[in-house]
Amino acid sequence: MTLQVFGLPVSRGVAIGKAVLVASSRVDVAHYFINADQVEDEILRLRDGRDVVANELEMLKRGMPEDAPGELSALLDVHLMLLHDEALTGATKQWIVDRHYNAEWALSAQLEVLARQFDEMEDDYLRERKADVEQVVERLLSALARGASSALVPAPGTTSGDWGGEEPLVLIANDIAPADMLQFKQSVFKGFVTDVGGKTSHTAIVARSMDIPAIVGAREASRLIRQDDWVIIDGDAGVVIVDPSPMVLEEYRFRQRQSELERERLARLRYTPAVTLDGEPVELLANIELPQDGPGAFKAGAMGVGLFRSEFLFMNRNGELPGEDEQFEAYRAAVESMQGLPVTIRTVDIGADKPLERMSINELRHEHTLNPALGLRAIRWSLSEPGMFRMQLRAILRASAHGPVKLLIPMLAHHSEIRQTLDAIARAKQQLRDAGVAYADVEVGAMIEVPAAALLIPLFLRYFDFVSIGTNDLIQYTLAIDRADESVSYLYDPWHPAVLRLVAGTIAQARAAGKGVCVCGEMAGDSSFTSLLLAMGLRSFSMHPSQIASVKQRILRSDASKLKQHLEDIMSSDDPQARYRELMAGGEAARHVLPMI
């Protein structure tokens, strides 16, 4: 029966495919594809894990005191039986063979299938056996984790595997950490749906950077959708249609073709310079997560990288952080991929919804900090690890010898943080000079993403060469809305007058001081804000490469100076969005933006 599940649309387009369920938050494991030639080793790893657990259970049984209740021994027998049951280990092996899942993922996928079967059982006693299966799986996962030195642990960005199946797949999960999302970059999935998450959560941001339809905050999706169900993900409306009728399917296939045609049409703008109708040139830059994203950004017509979120280099590494040389190589690769165009590298923004390390299997993420978004995050983390911070700074500075590099510092709010940061940069430079290592001049910029920074912009302009407005966090912190929490996502409002004032004020003051100012939050890539930001005086936008064409189209059709005349009217309204719409729907302002065809 057709079913509809609603969520927040975070990446546009239509995806149609068979559901791949990543197990719920019950078990937190790595999910990645292995290559065909790794299947046998992965099955061996699973078998070894099973033998280890079987041994453990046998030993527990043997070590049981004489007077232990008989049920205990019977329970261990049940666990041993489950461990050898085809429905668990045999079927798990099949996931590895058929889908090329890593062993942990295969186990959790099979657990999900079995858990549902148990849930549907009439008999209370049998239904409760689900807990036994869960315990056995957890033991198995823990045995696999203990043997985790396996050569199969993937290197970042190389985890797409070679899934040889014919059918398109879409991923359905309770939650996907940004680190896991990264693993799925360049993978086979045609779309994503998660139960949790807000529009500007980092999971949503990475999904958007992959330019495939995605929905977050769909609450019940991973409970309602079953493994291998056919689903349509409507990334424009935020609807997941499960088991669609042939008619609905046909309608969506038609829409899919339409949006492909639209993309092809927009792609023709790649080499057109972004200039407004009144002749104002606008710089369109790319946001990237990994050096491998550089060539795509260049191909999309980006004039440089406005935000390289370097923290993604620090993820999925089994606890080992990248050293200076490894970081340097990554930054150099990004710089070289842009062929002489500037690359803005942001120092790590670890913390909040991008925790550094995967925690152990049964720990929930974020449990260690009460308010991760307000905790040790971004520059606060870097300043608390001065050795690591200087190492990153040296690596970035070294990359500047290979092409134009700018340095960007996230989440600054305090004068003391500014001073410590600039000191650290000076020391890193000194260390390089002492070692006779080359580096070029780099401009240093501050991200404006805390209201305190936006309100104190003259201070920042005194110390920095440029500023970059991170609207994702600026909105989060101005409105006190956790950007990753779908339950308050309806309050996450870029149109809020307080947000607009902070953004407009920052742009105006930076321009007046003759300093560069860019917006690199998600607002920059959303073409519904392009005219407004142009009216505020913004001339540098940084976004996902896939958004460049549609923003450019807007720019080509806008008259910046005339739009500016309406800015005060919009900004002083109690409801700026409604006022903007009124003006655009046939009012005076509409004449300053050519209609979209």
470 lies in the binding site for ligand PEP (CB under 6 A): yes
Is the dihedral angle over the CA atoms 532, 501, 519, 470 positive or is it negative?
A: negative
Residues near 115 by Cβ (< 8 Å), separated by ≥ 6?
Answer: 130, 133, 134
Going by C-alpha positions, the residue among 476, 484, 529 that lies closest to residue 507 is 529
* Strand order through the sheet with 239-242: 3-6, 239-242, 230-234, 14-22, 169-173, 189-194, 214-216, 8-11
CB closer to Mg ion out of 196 and 446: 446
The site partner of 104 among ligand PEP, Mg ion, none (C-beta below 5 to 8 Å per kind) is: none
CB closer to ligand PEP out of 12 and 309: 309
Set 79, 100, 202, 566: catalytic member: 202
Site for ligand PEP in 204-233 (CB under 6 A): 205
From 179-187, 442-450, 491-499, 507-515, span contacting Mg ion (CB under 5 A): 442-450
- Residue pair 321/280 in contact (Cβ under 8 Å)? The answer is no
Min dist CB 4 to Mg ion, Å, is 33
- Residue pair 231/215 in contact (Cβ under 8 Å)? The answer is no
Site for ligand PEP in 124-163 (CB under 6 A): none
- The secondary element (H helix, E strand) that includes residue 106 is helix 103-119
Min dist CB 471 to Mg ion, Å, is 9
294 lies in the binding site for ligand PEP (CB under 6 A): no
486 lies in the binding site for ligand PEP (CB under 6 A): no
CB closer to Mg ion out of 425 and 520: 520
Axis-axis angle for helices 386-399, 415-434 (nearest 10): 60
From 206-214, 221-229, 469-477, 569-577, span contacting Mg ion (CB under 5 A): 469-477
Residues near 42 by Cβ (< 8 Å), separated by ≥ 6?
Answer: 34, 96, 102, 103, 152
Min dist CB 530 to ligand PEP, Å, is 16
- The secondary element (H helix, E strand) that includes residue 22 is strand 14-22
From 27-35, 113-121, 463-471, 545-553, span contacting Mg ion (CB under 5 A): 463-471
Please count the residues of this chain forming the interface with ligand PEP, following the rule CB under 6 A. Answer: 11
454 lies in the binding site for ligand PEP (CB under 6 A): no
CB closer to Mg ion out of 28 and 449: 449
- Residue pair 173/194 in contact (Cβ under 8 Å)? The answer is yes
- Residue pair 54/184 in contact (Cβ under 8 Å)? The answer is no
349 lies in the binding site for ligand PEP (CB under 6 A): yes
Min dist CB 504 to ligand PEP, Å, is 16
526 lies in the binding site for ligand PEP (CB under 6 A): no
Q: Specify whether 202 is catalytic.
A: yes
Radius of gyration of the chain (CA): 26
From 27-35, 243-251, 255-263, 468-476, span contacting ligand PEP (CB under 6 A): 468-476
Set 520, 544, 566, 592: catalytic member: 520
CA distance 252 to 243: 13
Q: Read off the tokens for 483.
A: 């950007």
The site partner of 379 among ligand PEP, Mg ion, none (C-beta below 5 to 8 Å per kind) is: none
Backbone angles phi, psi at 434, to 5 degrees: -60, -35
520 lies in the binding site for ligand PEP (CB under 6 A): yes
CB closer to ligand PEP out of 541 and 580: 541
The site partner of 521 among Mg ion, ligand PEP, none (C-beta below 5 to 8 Å per kind) is: ligand PEP
If you search the block for the tokens 């620090």, which residue do you land on? 314
Task: Please calculate the CA angle 319-391-403 and round it to the nearest 5 degrees.
Answer: 115
470 lies in the binding site for Mg ion (CB under 5 A): yes
Residues near 68 by Cβ (< 8 Å), separated by ≥ 6?
Answer: none
Please count the residues of this chain forming the interface with Mg ion, following the rule CB under 5 A. Answer: 3
CB closer to Mg ion out of 130 and 414: 414
Task: Please calculate the CA angle 234-237-239 and round it to the nearest 5 degrees.
Answer: 55
445 lies in the binding site for Mg ion (CB under 5 A): no
CB closer to ligand PEP out of 210 and 520: 520
The site partner of 406 among Mg ion, ligand PEP, none (C-beta below 5 to 8 Å per kind) is: none
521 lies in the binding site for ligand PEP (CB under 6 A): yes
Q: Quick one: which of 203, 471, 530, 540 contacts ligand PEP (CB under 6 A)?
A: 471
Q: Specify whether 518 is catalytic.
A: no
| CA atoms in the 13 A half-sphere facing the CB of 178 | 29
309 lies in the binding site for ligand PEP (CB under 6 A): yes
Axis-axis angle for helices 497-512, 471-479 (nearest 10): 130
Site for ligand PEP in 399-418 (CB under 6 A): none
Residues near 407 by Cβ (< 8 Å), separated by ≥ 6?
Answer: 344, 345, 347, 393, 396, 397, 425, 442, 443, 444, 445
Q: Read off the tokens for 580.
A: 């903007």
Which DSSP string do the residues of 337-371 spell out, in sequence order?
HTTTS-EEEEPP--BTTB-SS---TTPPTTTT-S-
Q: Quick one: which of 234, 473, 486, 522 contacts Mg ion (CB under 5 A)?
A: 473
Min dist CB 211 to ligand PEP, Å, is 17
CB closer to Mg ion out of 205 and 341: 205
The site partner of 282 among ligand PEP, Mg ion, none (C-beta below 5 to 8 Å per kind) is: none
CA distance 217 to 483: 11
From 17-25, 128-136, 275-283, 465-473, span contacting ligand PEP (CB under 6 A): 465-473
Q: Quick one: which of 449, 485, 526, 559 contacts ligand PEP (CB under 6 A)?
A: 449
Give the residues lining the site for ligand PEP (CB under 6 A).
Answer: 205, 307, 309, 349, 449, 470-473, 520-521
The set of catalytic residues is 202, 520
Binding site for Mg ion (CB under 5 A): 449, 470, 473
